[in-house]
Amino acid sequence: MIPELGHFALALAVAIAGAQAVLPLWGARARDARLMATAPALAIGQMLALLAAYGCLIWSAVVDDFSVANVAENSNSLKPLIYKITGTWGNHEGSILLWCLILALCGGAVALFGRTLPSSLRARVIGVLGFTSAGFLLFALTTSNPLDRVWPPPIDGRDMNPLLQDPGLAVHPPVLYAGYVGFAIPFAFAVAALLEGRVDAAWGRWVRPWTLAAWSLLTGGIALGSWWAYYELGWGGYWFWDPVENASLLPWLSGTALLHSAIVVEKREALKIWTILLAIGTFSLSLCGTFMVRSGILNSVHTFANDPARGVFILGLLALVIGGSLLLFALRAPVMSATGIFAPISREGALVLNNILLCSICAVVLTGTTYPLFAELLFGAKLSVGPPYFQATVFPLAVPLFLAMSLGPVLPWKRAELWPALLKLWWAALIAAVVGTAAYLGLRASFAAVGFAASAWLIFGSLAELVERTRLFRAPFATFRSRVAAQPLSVWGSAVAHAGMGVTVAGIAGMSLAVSTIVAVHPGETVQLGGYDWTLLALRDDQGPNYTARVADIRVTRNGDDVVTFHPSRRMFTVQKSSVTDTAIQTNGLRDLYAVLGEERDDAAVLRLHVNPLAPWIWFGALVMAAGGVLSLADRRLRVGAPARRAAGVKAGIAS
């Protein structure tokens, strides 16, 4: 019964989405207030319908209803409860439904929190969201319905890939999707602006909170995925530039550019065309990521369903959404005129440079990821483009970007002098130089030295900007105090976010100094690595709810003092007849000790051991970045709405 209700709710959602796609846009065109007013109601309706549908899916999984095909294929009565719930999105159909749910939640959010938007803009935004929703819901309902039944129902389910039965990977999809799909809102804003024929400072301000929210979530989602790969997969790395990893990085890069571009639109009414293009492009990249993952077209570990038929449907959807919006862009963009003029050396200039660099990195990653496809198409050749390529091309672009990141915030708008701005950052530059030189001399590793220098520049540069704004040490304490209180939250937010990037860069630099080894060890033997002594105490068996395991007990000491005893293991899952490694990691905040149990031969165990300096900083930095985004979100200025329209005669001529 419940699955039927869910199925019905899904169909209802399709219908509502269809209405949502048509009525508000028509109303905005015809300036019909009543039609425009249907927008929030429809958006909320769709949201509720999809919440119901997804709720029914979760319910079916929790009660082990194996007559639902999705549950039969991916769940099992022995699976722990939490993974029954999170497993609903661990497969193609469920994750598509999650995608649609989040898209509907976006529409609902605009309906609920966008009350201060002018009604025509809000109607158009919700209309565009409805259009996109309708497309994906149709795809879900017709080709990937997780609520389809199977008859007769099997006695027990086939269980989920054991790799997915893990807390990190359980949470990763919703957060990542919230980011991916969240960029649909800026996309909708951009298309709405094109339809209205107007992009102005107010638009720049309205679009920013939504972009910030999506960006923060995407940052978190990517960090979660990378962290999971690190602690679960047991290869000691955290980013392989795998096509699907890149698919999540691409919208992040262009989303970051969008975030900064929107500031210029808001403050100076310039860079309008570029910002609109970025908004369309970011969501397009999200959609392309979806396509690449689900069609199996790329050689990647992550591909769900290698089903070309589904791939064609999604390609069609993409053609409609991306092609349509880019066509609209080509037709309507000339209408938008820039009014702000600025000199090359200015905050706008720095933001333009930031844009160019971020978009270049984005273009490079896109080229590298899709190059094997084009090589196959054009030359029939089978090529690989792997981490060495990306490291060689992205890092040289990232360094000027980091330099600009600390310089931009201290440059004034419109026209500035470079030298006075640099002087404000003198001590940050000094610290960076000292750190870099010390690192190079001490470690003889140029990559790490540059990384640490860049990290110091970013962190202390952010601090320098705050010091500058609050006149610390330059004015009486009372002035400083009042200035601190007066700073809008977005100033703190951006400083925190930039510093967070610095922390991540330090983590990456530290990881480049990691030491590792692979050894065959008998119980009782000790290995030395990275200044620590690793002793294999014992190899034993263990049991879990749906698995058996082989465990190694390893004690790590340093100079005779106990550091940790941990237990890497291999788990064999009985139903799926497959195994998973359970890496053992111990962190003290400054370095990770990392052990993986490999196979066993002649009662020796093959162990992979790592000492990873500053590894936790990579993900901690990402957390700080996301926190900076959230901080900026809370800025009161972003909640200012549209001025109310009074009689035309009074307000006419004053741009709004």
Burial class (CB in 10 A: 0-12, 13-18, 19+), 333: middle
Asked if residues 583 and 231 have their Cβ atoms less than 8 Å apart, the reply is: yes
CB nearer to other proteins: give 365 or 449. 365
Residue 77 one-letter amino acid: S
Residue 323 interacting with other proteins (CB under 8 A): yes
Residue 647 interacting with other proteins (CB under 8 A): no
Give the C-alpha distances (Å, rounded to integers) separating 3 from 82, 99, 652.
Answer: 20, 19, 55
Asked if residues 90 and 116 have their Cβ atoms less than 8 Å apart, the reply is: no
Residue 163 interacting with other proteins (CB under 8 A): yes
CB nearer to other proteins: give 301 or 640. 301
Asked if residues 510 and 621 have their Cβ atoms less than 8 Å apart, the reply is: no
Among 58, 141, 193, 359, binds other proteins (CB under 8 A): 359
Q: How many residues bind other proteins (CB under 8 A)?
A: 94
Residue 561 interacting with other proteins (CB under 8 A): no
Q: How far is the CB of 529 from other proteins (least distance, A)?
A: 11
Q: For residue 193, how many C-alpha atoms fall within 13 Å in the half-sphere facing its CB?
A: 30
Residues 441-480 binding other proteins (CB under 8 A) are none
Per CB under 8 A, the segment of 137-145, 599-607, 615-623, 632-640 that binds other proteins is 599-607
Among 26, 389, 440, 480, binds other proteins (CB under 8 A): 389
The CA R_g of the chain, rounded to the nearest whole Å, is 27
Asked if residues 128 and 187 have their Cβ atoms less than 8 Å apart, the reply is: yes
Residue 384 interacting with other proteins (CB under 8 A): yes
Residue 386 interacting with other proteins (CB under 8 A): yes
3 state DSSP class of 234: coil
Asked if residues 303 and 390 have their Cβ atoms less than 8 Å apart, the reply is: no
Beta-strand relationship, 532-543 and 526-529: antiparallel
CB nearer to other proteins: give 17 or 394. 394
Residue 517 interacting with other proteins (CB under 8 A): yes
Residue 303 interacting with other proteins (CB under 8 A): yes
Residues 338-357 binding other proteins (CB under 8 A) are 338-339, 341, 352, 355-357
CA gap 527, 605 in Å, rounded: 12
Determine phi and psi for 423, rounding to 5 degrees: -60, -35
Per CB under 8 A, the segment of 48-56, 172-180, 362-370, 470-478 that binds other proteins is 362-370
Residues 7-26 binding other proteins (CB under 8 A) are none
CB nearer to other proteins: give 153 or 340. 340
Residue 504 interacting with other proteins (CB under 8 A): no
Residues 49-68 binding other proteins (CB under 8 A) are none
Tokens coding 98: 């999650």
CB nearer to other proteins: give 334 or 476. 334
Q: How far is the CB of 236 from other proteins (least distance, A)?
A: 6
- Site mask for other proteins (CB under 8 A), range 175-214, x = bound: ----------------------------------------
Residues 223-252 binding other proteins (CB under 8 A) are 233-237, 240, 242
| Chain Cα centroid distance, residue 371 | 23
Among 63, 82, 330, 486, binds other proteins (CB under 8 A): 330
Among 15, 41, 363, 484, binds other proteins (CB under 8 A): 363
Residues 252-281 binding other proteins (CB under 8 A) are 273, 277, 280-281
Residues 576-595 binding other proteins (CB under 8 A) are 576, 578-581
Residues 477-496 binding other proteins (CB under 8 A) are none
Residue 297 interacting with other proteins (CB under 8 A): yes
CA gap 86, 102 in Å, rounded: 15
| Nearest CA among 197, 347, 188, 356 for reference residue 270 | 347
Residue 300 interacting with other proteins (CB under 8 A): yes
Residue 515 interacting with other proteins (CB under 8 A): no
Asked if residues 502 and 453 have their Cβ atoms less than 8 Å apart, the reply is: no
Give the C-alpha distances (Å, rounded to integers) separating 417 from 410, 422, 474.
Answer: 11, 9, 21
CA gap 289, 242 in Å, rounded: 12
Give the C-alpha distances (Å, rounded to integers) separating 574 from 542, 546, 548, 580, 596.
Answer: 13, 6, 8, 12, 21
CB nearer to other proteins: give 334 or 524. 334
Helix (H) or strand (E) segment spanning residue 469: helix 446-470
Tokens coding 638: 């972003």
CB nearer to other proteins: give 128 or 633. 128
Asked if residues 303 and 290 have their Cβ atoms less than 8 Å apart, the reply is: no
Per CB under 8 A, the segment of 146-154, 198-206, 261-269, 511-519 that binds other proteins is 511-519
